Amino acid sequence: MSDHTPPKDAFTLELRRIDNLLTVGQLPQAAQALNQAQARHPGDARIYLLGMRLAEMAGNGPGALVAAERAVNAAPQWTAGLMEAALMLMRQGRHADALPLAQRAMTIAPDDLKVVRRAVLVALKAGHAEAATAWLRKLVVLAPYERQFRDLFAKQLLANRDAAQSKAVYDKLLDEQPADAMALSGRIQAALALGDLPTAEADARALLAQDPANPQYQYWLALARGETPDSQPDALVQSLFDGFADRFDVTLWRQLEYRVPQLVADFLLKTHPDRRFNVLDLGCGTGLVGVCLGPLDGFIIGVDLSEAMIEKAAQHGVYARFHRVSVLDALRETPADHYEAITCCDVLVYVGDLSEVIPNALRILKPGGHFLFSCETAQEDEPDMVLRATGRYAHKASAVQRWCEQAGFENTQIDHLPKLRMEAGAPLPGFLVTARKAGAPD
Ligand SMILES: C[S@@+](CC[C@H](N)C(=O)[O-])C[C@H]1O[C@@H](n2cnc3c(N)ncnc32)[C@H](O)[C@@H]1O
């Protein structure tokens, strides 16, 4: 080591100082210190990793990618570096690139709690069920005292349709703490999936004893008693989609071949070739309707319960405004004769009861305006509205047609879609409703 080279521990302290500069947001100072460190210890993976952080904080995504690649190449066995790089890739939405790094770190250090925790996060965000399940299984062995990990594991088992194992995990959690609301909530869902209604009912009652007005607990009690509640509680929808936002577009559009937003946009652009119209997009999600429509000589307003979905939609820059409220609240609070079009794609499957939705949509449309919405199909020999085991509502096309006519829509067209999207490897049938309000457009 030359006189000018600091001893290793002093250098480590210097790197820690740079890390602190980044933490407090002093980016120019951190950049200068990093350049000096780089000149002294070229090729040190820790410098590249700090460079990755700096680039990311400065909004330089491509720079962060280059720095991450250098860090990983410089120290391919350094698990902290691999996992930091993987998490940065996740933040950039590059799930497919992040997963192999997590896999490599897991091969190197399968019993390192920090590595396993982060790898689980990557697998869950990437929607890789097999890796998530395997690594969660490992995590609960490494940290059996962490009840949240066991809850996550049980949730993953349920998502894999292994309700029996999921329930077994919750049984143990509840043996240890019988009043734990998290475990009671989880066991209800596993029990409902298994058709074990007595367990679901007992657990729902235990939760209601703790919080009698909780709409989610009331909903579960109704399900456990074989009833069909009017709609899914807002909190359930919100937590479902907040956890799904990162993967929604890839899952729905690429894997499940979901195309309803495109059909809706095609209809509206054909009806308004000059692109001069305003749209209320109910349950806008990640903004696929807005993306398919493209820029308009008018505005698109997005409504959704999920903050995370709205954040994704906002990134497209197509929506003029968002409201984080329920479909029903948005419809009730909008003045009459306001929009040329209302869209509601794959949303009423969560809303269920349409008795307020359809008349209010009619009220706030301008004369000649269109309400376009999709439904999952209930068969004609089923009730008008059915709650499926998936937790989503299906509607009967003839009932929807009747409700639109009764509300006063002038013309209601129903297009049957043999494949609304894929579901568990098979096409899920549905239909698209185009209901027109009477009168000539302005
Ligand atoms: C399956 S996604 C569809 C998103 C978008 N419409 C599309 O076609 O890509 C359903 C969306 O509806 C939202 N949602 C469900 N029920 C809702 C309600 N009652 N009020 C507001 N948003 C709701 C969810 O948060 C989610 O973003």
Q: Which segments within 309-438 are labelled E, that is strand?
A: 321-323, 339-344, 365-378, 385-387, 393-396, 411-423, 426-436
Does the pLDDT at position 4 exceed 60? Answer: no
Domain co-membership, 418 together with 271? yes
Q: Which of 60, 54, 110, 128 is nearest to 84 (CA)?
A: 54
Does the pLDDT at position 3 exceed 50? Answer: no
For residue 117, being part of any structural domain is answered with: yes
CB 52 within 8 A of CB 91: no
Pocket test of ligand 1: the residue of 237, 293, 393 to mutate, having most ligand atoms within 8 Å of its CB, is: 237
Using one digit for the tens of pLDDT, what is the confidence trace for 145-156?
Answer: 999 999 999 999
Using one digit for the tens of pLDDT, what is the confidence trace for 90-124?
Answer: 999 898 899 999 999 999 999 999 999 999 999 99
For residue 234, being part of any structural domain is answered with: no
Number of domains in the chain: 3
Query: What's this model's pTM, rounded to 2 decimal places?
Result: 0.83
Question: Tokens 């919405």 map to which residue?
Answer: 373
Residue 306: CB partners within 8 Å, gap ≥ 6?
237, 238, 240, 241, 242, 245, 285, 324
Choice between 250 and 402, residue whose per-residue pLDDT is larger: 402
Q: Crossing angle for the helix pair 215-224 and 234-242, nearest 10 degrees?
A: 100
Using one digit for the tens of pLDDT, what is the confidence trace for 16-35?
Answer: 999 999 999 999 999 999 99
Average pLDDT for 311-340: 96
Domain co-membership, 373 together with 397? yes
Does the pLDDT at position 172 exceed 80? Answer: yes
CB 127 within 8 A of CB 91: no
Cα(345)–Cα(313) distance, integer angstroms: 14
Q: Which of 287, 347, 283 is nearest to 311 (CA)?
A: 287
Atom 27 in ligand 1: residue holding the nearest Cα? 285
For residue 406, being part of any structural domain is answered with: yes
**Ligand 1 close to Cβ of residue 287 (< 6 A):** no
**414: pLDDT confidence band, cut at 50, 70 and 90?**
very high
Q: What local confidence, expressed as pLDDT, does residue 390 receive?
A: 84
Domain co-membership, 132 together with 205? no
Average pLDDT for 377-403: 95
Domain co-membership, 282 together with 306? yes
Domain co-membership, 192 together with 250? no
Domain co-membership, 213 together with 260? no
For residue 313, being part of any structural domain is answered with: yes
Domain co-membership, 191 together with 68? no
CATH number at residue 94: 1.25.40.10
Distance 373 CA to ligand 1 centre (A): 12
Does the pLDDT at position 359 exceed 90? Answer: yes
**7: pLDDT confidence band, cut at 50, 70 and 90?**
low
**Ligand 1 close to Cβ of residue 285 (< 6 A):** yes
Mind spelling out the 3-state secondary structure of 254-310? HHCCCCHHHHHHHHHHHHCCCCCCCEEEECCCCCHHHHHHCCCCCCEEEECCCHHHH
**1: pLDDT confidence band, cut at 50, 70 and 90?**
very low
Q: Which domain holds residue 388?
A: 240-436
**Ligand 1 close to Cβ of residue 221 (< 6 A):** no
Q: What local confidence, expressed as pLDDT, does residue 8 receive?
A: 62
Cα(74)–Cα(85) distance, integer angstroms: 13
Using one digit for the tens of pLDDT, what is the confidence trace for 186-236?
Answer: 999 999 999 999 999 999 999 999 999 999 999 999 999 999 999 999 999
Percent of the chain with pLDDT over 90: 87
Q: Which of 357, 373, 355 is nearest to 415 (CA)?
A: 373
**425: pLDDT confidence band, cut at 50, 70 and 90?**
confident
Does the pLDDT at position 171 exceed 60? Answer: yes
Ligand 1: which atom is nearest the Cα of residue 326? 20
Label the pairing between strands 426-436 and 365-378.
antiparallel
**Ligand 1 close to Cβ of residue 349 (< 6 A):** no
Does the pLDDT at position 2 exceed 60? Answer: no
Percent of the chain with pLDDT over 70: 98
Q: Which of 260, 298, 305 is nearest to 279 (CA)?
A: 298
Q: Which segments within 156-237 are labelled E, that is strand?
A: none
Structural domain ending residue among the three candidates 183, 199, 227 = 227
Q: What local confidence, expressed as pLDDT, does residue 332 receive?
A: 96
For residue 441, being part of any structural domain is answered with: no
CA distances from 396 to 178, 205, 399, 414 (A): 41, 32, 5, 11
DSSP helix, strand, coil percent of the chain (3-state; round to 5): 55, 15, 30
Helix (H) or strand (E) holding 112: none
CB 373 within 8 A of CB 345: yes
The amino acid sitting at 438 is A
Average pLDDT for 307-334: 96
Using one digit for the tens of pLDDT, what is the confidence trace for 239-298?
Answer: 999 988 888 887 888 788 889 999 999 999 999 999 999 999 999 999 999 999 999 999
Domain co-membership, 63 together with 199? no
